[in-house]
Amino acid sequence: MRLVVFDLDGTITYRDTLFPYVTGFLARTGRSRLRLARLVPTLAAFGVGAADHGAVKSTLIRATLGGASRTQLKAWTEEFVPWVVNRGSSPGALDSIKAHREAGDLLVLMSASTDLYVPQIGQALGFQQVICTGIAFDGAGNLDGALTTPNRRGAEKVRCLQALKQQYPGLELIAYGNAGSDLAHLALADQPRLVNASRGTLRKARAMGLQPFANWSH
């Protein structure tokens, strides 16, 4: 048995999943897309280094999904997850997950995307463990949008991977990722598997001694 860690967005899926999730919810519930304009000040702050990716994520979720009930979000998630698995995911990635599952490997899905839907994707694909960014609800069960965990990206993925190595000592570690922000945690794996990488990410990876593994994006 090996410990196998997959990123989600751009690795298993063809692209980001959060924006389609929030815009799909807006369409489903009749909420105006003008809510997205509330994101502009945070994007401006991000542009000058005064806000990070986590702040942008929280603001996006508050602007679009804020106040939605758990029931509303659960209903949308039940529609969204099958679409992601059946139409938004690469056959190459799904085949790789299946092969690892059939080999008896321990599968972990580790994503910066949120617990509004990532655990359900993990369950649908047969992952035994899911690590993702947590989102807060208020006492009435309506979405607040604050992050309840660090944003699972970059250095936070490194920390989570180190914790997994301590949790499962002695297991060979295989890690899949696609983005420049994944390179630091991929470098800690016994078998780093860089997939679907952009040219810029490939340049950075090769400078670190990491070689591309596959391109599932076509």
pLDDT at 30 (0 to 100): 82
Residues near 202 by Cβ (< 8 Å), separated by ≥ 6? 194, 212
Domain 3-214, CATH: 3.40.50.1000
User: Taking each helix axis from N to C terminus, what angle separates 70-87 and 118-125, rounded to the nearest 10 degrees?
Assistant: 40
Domain boundaries defined on the chain: 3-214
Shortest CA distance to 25 belongs to which of 89, 78, 86, 90?
Answer: 78
For the chain (218 residues), the mean pLDDT of every run of 10, in chain order, is 97 96 91 72 67 83 92 96 96 97 97 97 97 96 94 96 95 97 96 96 94 88
